[in-house]
Amino acid sequence: MTNSSRLAVVTGASTGIGYALARCCADHGFDLLIAADEPEINDAAESLRRFGRSVTAVETDLASRDGVEKLLGAVAQLHRPVDALLANAGRGLGKAFLDQDLRDAQRVVDTNITGTVALIHEIGRDMRARGQGRILITGSIAGFMPGTYQAVYNASKAFLDSFAFAIRHELKTSGVTVTCLMPGATETDFFERADMLDTKIGSSKKDDPAEVARQGFEAMMKGAGDVVTGWQNKLQSAIARLLPQGIAAEMHRSMAEPGTARR
């Protein structure tokens, strides 16, 4: 291992946008500590090692406090500072809120919000003490719209989008930058895991995760505040921000209501 190289911690790196973010980090000379909940994280590590960097995989449930501690313990064992934290792990959940299992809805909150906040609190403090570091938070343009038939998820992303901007400004003279990556619908396992393949959004053409990650990584390296990926998503989020919330919620219904899949 080359201790002169930089270290990036990427959560949710087994698949999708997180794997692509880890790939960008490896391509730009970062060693990696990657985390996800399932054993597939070890396959992702194996695949990322082909790019010549040191890669440590941690299988841990970031929805739990113990899971966050396990990841922090793995970081401590490397005896090197974290140069970049890419807090990307997250999950969605479709269907009407009252028809969801409350444990599934709670898991969205615990993963997307509670685990992310705990991780950033600990690693962010070390970065601030060192006067340097980059934090990327994967929010979403979903945070701009009440998520009819995806209510808890959109609310969790509204939290993250807001949280990212707020701590960015708290840290603005610290040497630590915070960037919020706000993708639109992206071609990953996300919609299948959220049980949303029978919806218009779940069945429509989506963005390439490699391109989404590239834009997010570049924004993080520039220290930009946020990046909405793709012109269609920029347009959609600009409109969503201007619309009354009731109209935006109705627009979301047309995209996420079960049984509206494109044929």
Ligand X SMILES: NC(=O)c1ccc[n+]([C@@H]2O[C@H](COP(=O)([O-])OP(=O)(O)OC[C@H]3O[C@@H](n4cnc5c(N)ncnc54)[C@H](OP(=O)(O)O)[C@@H]3O)[C@@H](O)[C@H]2O)c1
- Show Cβ contacts of residue 247 under 8 Å, excluding neighbours closer than 6 positions: none
Among the listed residues 144, 149, 153, 190, the single catalytic one is 153
For the CB of residue 173, give the shortest distance to ligand X in the complex, in Å. 29
For the CB of residue 157, give the shortest distance to ligand X in the complex, in Å. 7
For the CB of residue 189, give the shortest distance to ligand X in the complex, in Å. 4
Known active-site residue 153: yes
d(CA 17, CA 201): 17
Q: Which residues bind ligand X (CB under 6 A)?
A: 12-18, 36-38, 61-63, 88-91, 111, 138, 140, 183, 185-186, 188-190, 193
Pick the closer one to ligand X by CB: 41 or 82.
41
Pick the closer one to ligand X by CB: 31 or 61.
61
- Written as one letter, the residue type at 135 is I
Pick the closer one to ligand X by CB: 177 or 188.
188
d(CA 178, CA 154): 21
For the CB of residue 37, give the shortest distance to ligand X in the complex, in Å. 4
Pick the closer one to ligand X by CB: 16 or 147.
16
Residue whose tokens read 């449930």: 61
d(CA 248, CA 231): 19
Q: Please answer whether residues 157 and 190 qualify as being in contact, where contact means their C-beta atoms are separated by less than 8 angstroms.
A: no
Query: Which of 58, 67, 77 minimizes the C-alpha distance to 18?
Result: 58
Annotated active-site positions, please? 153
